[in-house]
């Protein structure tokens, strides 16, 4: 029911109860003019006896009211059939209306007119005489039926009062005085008219009540409407009370958002609906599997039932947005031109023939078969040799997109598989994130530093990578956030690692390991000329400067200022030279056409490394070994010193357990074969042996220094010096056999860099030496041995 003033035009009203009820419902016949002016109302129906204030806005209506007020003060009030019609004609008016008396006319400041009218009698329109300047019509009064005196009708009236009173009590917006007014209404006809006027029902239902002549039927219909209104008020009151009991800040915001949504719907703008339509429009052109399509459809249906203010709305929206962003069945087309691919690989990287051949083989199979599970490659080698940049070069060569995923320091498996989307801040794993970013389902993906994946109480990412890097499983990779299987079988995964020992065995088993050795001096010179110098020239604004750095000068920089397998340190030294050149050009305006060795020493200082240190030592007991470190091959001194005392073995130099065991094995073999090796057995009983490996701050371990330790011990005990420029590597056994070791290419190139001339290796390592390009090891003499006796004969000089 509506007892509030609504501020709009002619049809919004507040009921006023006449002080004299009998006057309102007088059955006297009123005298009406032959032609009466009509006042169309668009939003309400006037009932006999009810007083309404009405704001008149339309020019026609103002003129009709003004003329009527000057005359008989009577006017025919009739409802419009369609309230949206701004300028009605006769066919837009209802046939039944109410004769009203204009009690008061008030002129408003804005030019409008407000009138207070009181309904008198119902009438029916016989015919409309004119529509200009306002509606005039011949009308006929409709007689009002006398209220029955029987108990049934009295029960109707009582029931109407009770229902209306209950509705007033349940509606907080209706003043409580209204129920008092209802109780004091005694005239049944007026009660029905009054309640009908104030009932919140459709305008057409109100018109039905007005048109009904039988008062009993009118009362029955009114009770039906009151029952519906009461049920709605009870439900509304129940929801309100429940909400009040449970309301908190979030619920309050939700309630306000609901109201805001209703307002926006009224205004014709709902951002929630627009967002959903945008998602559906994007989905129309999306190529994806049926499972993804079905999941998206369910997600949209779920989203439509949600309000934007709920937390789950943004979670669901972001999930659907991810599904639309993923490429699913979008693939780039591979370039099968093997010659062109070879040219790109050769232009970007010097050397690395084994990897280039492997990539070309993969392309060749793709070209012939058209489809193939992508291999899982792992480039293994020291830092600075171009493993990561090679991945980008491979992507360019085969025409695929390139993405790099850095795994260094990752210690949570959710980084790979994603978080469940129920968590706050959840996101997909890095694999899916990068696929989403690159917009292709078959990119070249570099898994950088796979050997540096951590693990702790949060999980083991390397175990999560098992599914990603298994060609038999990765066609159905499951991401916890996406909650769907995604096909990674077309992705060309390339892992990079510096140390295979730290990779989980099960994961290492899935990788096709391709070992990358360090660069020889000749290779570094070519890399510097082709890539590093042009890059540094451009970086320092010297691209147009025509100065040159000769091969001899580059060789000087490489040998005297760097000790590395890769070219990063060389790159830094070249950058220092370019900065010096840039300063010279800025200050003097010109540059020397050729840089000399003196210029290099001026920029980089005196040589940091020298090969003179590897000449024969002045005392016996010092041997040169070859080591394989994190940074590639290196040279290692082994020093053995004897002192008087009880027989004992001391080991220093930050040695690992395996290296200590090699020293113990070497001494045991020497003791057991003292006479064969020319050692006095008595010395072994009264000498304390001390083996030291310099650079004590650097941890050292591994079996490859075994023959070097035995040679140093034999030299110390026999007093025979070791040949100059001689290096060696190999594992020993108690029987005196020499066993093969790994990292031969790195060690041989390190020996070459250091200026050694002869190397002693196990005979089984000869095959590893043959894989090295012969040009890079010219000047090196190799001795392949099977036993320790051969090592001693080759290494020790005669006194």
Catalytic center residues:
704, 747
Q: Give the E-state strand segments of 131-224 in sequence order.
A: 136-141
Cα 351 to Cα 342: distance, rounded to the nearest angstrom? 12
Measured in residues, the chain has a length of 799
Q: Is residue 472 a contact partner of residue 374, using CB atoms and an 8 Å limit?
A: no
Cα 766 to Cα 761: distance, rounded to the nearest angstrom? 8
User: What 3-state DSSP class applies to 195?
Assistant: helix
Please name the residues in contact with 468: beta carbons below 8 A apart, sequence gap of 6 or more: 416, 431, 474, 477, 488, 493
Q: What is the dihedral of CA 390, 396, 397, 398, to 10 degrees?
A: 120
How many CB atoms within 10 Å of residue 336? Answer: 15
Query: Rg for the chain (alpha carbons), in Å?
Result: 50
DSSP calls for 408-477: TT---THHHH---TTSTT----HHHHHHHHHT-SS-EEEEETGGG---BTTB-HHHHHHHHT-TTTGGGE
Cα 443 to Cα 395: distance, rounded to the nearest angstrom? 8
Q: Tell me how far the alpha carbon of residue 695 is from its chain's centroid.
A: 47
Q: Is residue 682 a contact partner of residue 642, using CB atoms and an 8 Å limit?
A: no
Closest CA to 776 of 514, 519, 516, 550: 519
- DSSP-derived secondary structure letter, 528: I
Closest CA to 508 of 462, 449, 459, 460: 462
Backbone conformation region of residue 553, classed left if phi is above 0, alpha if psi is from -120 to 50, else beta? alpha
How many CB atoms within 10 Å of residue 128? Answer: 16
Residue 434's Cβ-count burial label (10 Å; 0-12, 13-18, 19+) is: middle
Cα 111 to Cα 746: distance, rounded to the nearest angstrom? 100
How many CB atoms within 10 Å of residue 714? Answer: 28
Closest CA to 391 of 408, 381, 404: 404
Three-state SS for 605-640 is CCCCCCHHHHCCCCCCCEEEEEEEECCEEEEEEEEE
Q: What angle do CA 530, 533, 538 make, to 5 degrees?
A: 115
Cα 346 to Cα 505: distance, rounded to the nearest angstrom? 33
User: What 3-state DSSP class applies to 751?
Assistant: helix
Q: What angle do CA 212, 217, 221 make, to 5 degrees?
A: 90
HSE at residue 664, side-chain half, CA atoms within 13 A, is 7
Tokens of 454: 């951590």
Q: Give the E-state strand segments of 239-331 in sequence order.
A: none
Cα 260 to Cα 615: distance, rounded to the nearest angstrom? 88
Q: Does residue 133 have a cis bond before it (omega within 30 degrees)?
A: yes
Beta bridge partners, 77, equal 39, 98
Cα 667 to Cα 158: distance, rounded to the nearest angstrom? 120
């Amino acid at each position: 029911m509506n007892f509030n003033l609504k501020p709009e035009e002619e049809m919004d009203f507040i009921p006023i109860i006449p002080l004299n009820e009998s006057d309102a419902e007088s059955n006297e016949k009123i005298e009406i003019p032959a032609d009466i002016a009509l006042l169309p109302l668009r939003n309400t129906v006037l009932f006999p006896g009810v007083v309404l204030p009405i704001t008149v806005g339309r020019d026609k209506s103002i003129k009709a009211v003004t003329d009527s007020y000057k005359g008989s003060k009577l006017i025919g009030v009739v409802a419009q059939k369609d309230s949206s019609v701004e300028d009605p004609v006769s066919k837009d008016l209802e046939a039944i209306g109410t004769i009203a008396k204009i009690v008061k006319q008030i002129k408003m400041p804005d030019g409008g007119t407000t009138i207070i009218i009181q309904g008198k009698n119902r009438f029916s329109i016989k015919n409309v005489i004119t529509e200009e300047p306002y509606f005039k019509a011949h009308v006929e009064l409709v007689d009002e039926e006398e209220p029955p005196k029987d108990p049934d009708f009295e029960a109707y009236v009582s029931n109407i009062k009770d229902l209306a009173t209950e509705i007033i009590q349940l509606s907080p917006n209706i003043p409580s005085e209204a129920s008092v007014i209802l109780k004091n209404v005694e005239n049944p006809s007026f009660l029905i008219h009054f309640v009908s006027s104030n009932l919140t029902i459709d305008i057409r239902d109100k018109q039905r009540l007005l048109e009904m002549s039988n008062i009993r039927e009118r009362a029955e219909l009114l009770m039906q409407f009151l029952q519906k209104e009461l049920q709605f008020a009870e439900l509304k009151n129940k929801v309100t009370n429940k909400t009040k009991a449970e309301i908190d800040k979030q619920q309050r915001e939700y309630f306000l958002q609901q109201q805001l949504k209703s307002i926006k719907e009224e205004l014709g703008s709902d951002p929630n609906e627009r967002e959903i339509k945008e998602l559906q429009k994007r989905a129309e052109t999306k190529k994806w599997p049926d499972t993804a399509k079905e999941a998206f459809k369910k997600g949209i249906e779920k989203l439509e039932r949600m309000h934007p203010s709920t937390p789950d709305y943004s979670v669901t929206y972001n999930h659907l947005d991810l599904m639309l962003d993923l490429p699913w069945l979008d693939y780039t087309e591979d370039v099968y031109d093997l010659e062109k691919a070879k040219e790109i690989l050769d232009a970007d990287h010097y050397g690395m023939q084994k990897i280039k051949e492997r990539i070309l083989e993969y392309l060749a199979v793709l070209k012939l078969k058209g489809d193939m599970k992508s291999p899982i490659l792992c480039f293994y080698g020291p830092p600075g040799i171009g493993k990561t940049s090679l991945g980008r070069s491979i992507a360019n060569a085969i025409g695929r997109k390139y993405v790099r995923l850095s795994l260094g320091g990752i210690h949570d498996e959710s980084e790979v598989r994603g978080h469940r989307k129920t968590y706050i801040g959840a996101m997909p794993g890095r694999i899916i994130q990068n696929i989403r970013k690159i917009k292709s389902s078959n990119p070249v993906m570099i898994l950088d530093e796979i050997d540096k994946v951590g693990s702790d109480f949060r999980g083991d990412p390397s175990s999560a990578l098992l599914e990603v890097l298994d060609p038999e499983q990765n066609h159905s990779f499951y991401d916890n956030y996406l909650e769907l299987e995604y096909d990674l079988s077309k992705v060309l995964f390339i892992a990079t690692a510096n140390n295979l020992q730290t990779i989980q065995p099960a994961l290492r088993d899935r990788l096709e390991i391709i070992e990358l050795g360090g660069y020889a001096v000749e290779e570094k010179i070519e890399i510097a000329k082709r890539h590093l110098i042009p890059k540094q020239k451009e970086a320092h604004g010297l691209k147009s400067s025509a100065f040159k750095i000769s091969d001899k000068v580059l060789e000087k920089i490489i040998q005297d200022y760097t000790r590395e397998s890769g070219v990063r340190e060389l790159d830094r030294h070249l950058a220092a030279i370019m900065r010096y050149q840039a300063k010279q050009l800025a200050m003097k305006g010109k540059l020397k056409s050729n840089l000399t060795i003196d210029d290099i020493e001026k920029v980089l200082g005196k040589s940091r490394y020298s090969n003179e240190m590897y000449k024969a030592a002045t005392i016996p007991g010092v041997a040169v070994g070859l080591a394989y470190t994190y940074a590639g091959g290196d040279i290692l001194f082994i020093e053995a010193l004897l002192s008087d005392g009880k027989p004992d073995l001391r080991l220093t130099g930050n040695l690992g357990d395996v290296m200590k065991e090699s020293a113990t094995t070497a001494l045991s073999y020497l003791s057991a074969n003292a006479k064969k090796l020319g050692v006095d057995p008595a010395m072994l009983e009264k000498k304390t042996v001390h083996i030291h490996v310099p650079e004590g701050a650097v941890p050292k371990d591994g079996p490859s220094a075994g023959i070097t330790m035995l040679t140093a011990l034999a030299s110390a005990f026999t007093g025979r010096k070791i040949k100059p420029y001689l290096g060696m590597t190999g594992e020993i056994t108690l029987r005196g056999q020499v066993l093969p070791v790994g990292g031969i290419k790195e060690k041989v190139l390190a020996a070459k860099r250091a200026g050694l001339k002869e190397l002693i290796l196990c005979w089984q390592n000869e095959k590893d030496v043959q894989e090295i390009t012969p040009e890079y090891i010219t000047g090196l003499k190799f001795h392949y041995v099977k036993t320790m006796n051969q090592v001693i004969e080759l290494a020790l000089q005669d006194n």
